[in-house]
Amino acid sequence: MTQVIVLNGGSSSGKSGISRCLQDVLPDPWLAFGVDTLVEAMPAAMQASDAGIEFAPDGAVLVGPEFRRLEAAWITGLAAMARAGARLILDEVFLGGSAGQRRWRQALDGLVVLWVGVRCEGAVAAAREAARGDRITGMALSQAAVVHRGVVYDLEVDTTRTASLACARAIAAQVA
């Protein structure tokens, strides 16, 4: 049985909404964690440092060595939770495409993982980003395609015209 669901997609693609819907439709309790949680847990100084994570005015996201070190600890910790019996939904943004998946694959080795690509047309994600008001303009458009580069999925969903609940049900059907 699936122990971990990894949702990978760009900013404002609908991953968080799908995560919440998955928690509602899956029969057992699943814990949801996102890369945003990791970023929010970091000291504010790391969110404006070339060693940490920087959000450029054009929406680009740059990560440095200290971010990668903490991210590695985060990934290892979440994998340990799954090995201890927690079922996890991971809301991820593979900024480096296949390199991000590779880091997770190594940590999750031996676990049953469902890899899900969450796609959304760049223009639609950008409109959602603007409506949210809590993202840097340009982030959604710059990430829409690059996060999927070289990534191998078990399933892909597209939130451009499909609601989060319908996507969650399609994913849940693969978990059962």
Q: Is 36 a catalytic residue?
A: yes
Contacts of 88 (CB under 8 A, 6+ apart): 3, 4, 5, 30, 31, 32, 33, 78, 81, 82
Contacts of 144 (CB under 8 A, 6+ apart): 10, 13, 119, 120, 121, 122, 125
* 20: Cα within 13 Å, side-chain hemisphere: 5
Task: Give the CA radius of gyration of the chain.
Answer: 15
| Active-site option among 24, 36, 50, 58 | 36
What separation in angstroms does the CA of 112 have from each of 83, 85, 93, 109? 10, 12, 20, 8
For β-strands 113-119 and 53-55, DSSP reports them as unpaired
| Residues involved in catalysis | 36
